[in-house]
Amino acid sequence: MDSVQEQAVEGSAEPPFGVPPVAFVAPVARDLAYDWQSDVMAMPVDVVYRDGTKVTSFLRVDASRLELLRIQLEQGADRREQILKEQGEYR
C-alpha cells in the first residue's frame, strides 16, 4: 500500500492561481463544537500550506459524515495498534 502522502484523492485538483497548495490539515488540540440546531459538528483544524503558512479553520461535519468519520478513525486506530503489536512496540 502507498503511504498516506502518496495516495491520490479522487477529484483533487491544483488550486486556483495565487492560492498556495495545501500540504496537510491537522486537528487542533481544542474541544469540538456541536450545533444541535443544524446537527453539525465543527472540529478546529490547522490548514498548513506548502509555503509554510498556517491558518486555523474548522472541519464542518454533518451527522451522517460524523458517523463515517468515527468509523474511519476507529479503523485507523485499530490498524496502528495492530502494526505496533507486530513490531513489539505496543504498550
**Any idea where the domains of the chain sit in the sequence?**
19-86
Instruction: With beta carbons less than 8 A apart as the criterion, state whether 23 and 49 touch.
Output: yes
pTM of the model as a whole: 0.66
Q: How far apart are CA 72 and CA 38, in angstroms?
A: 23
- What cell numbers appear for 6 in the block? 502518496
Task: Report the pLDDT averaged over residues 42-55.
Answer: 93
Question: Residue 88: what pLDDT?
Answer: 86
pLDDT for residue 83 is more than 90: yes
Instruction: With beta carbons less than 8 A apart as the criterion, state whether 80 and 73 touch.
Output: no
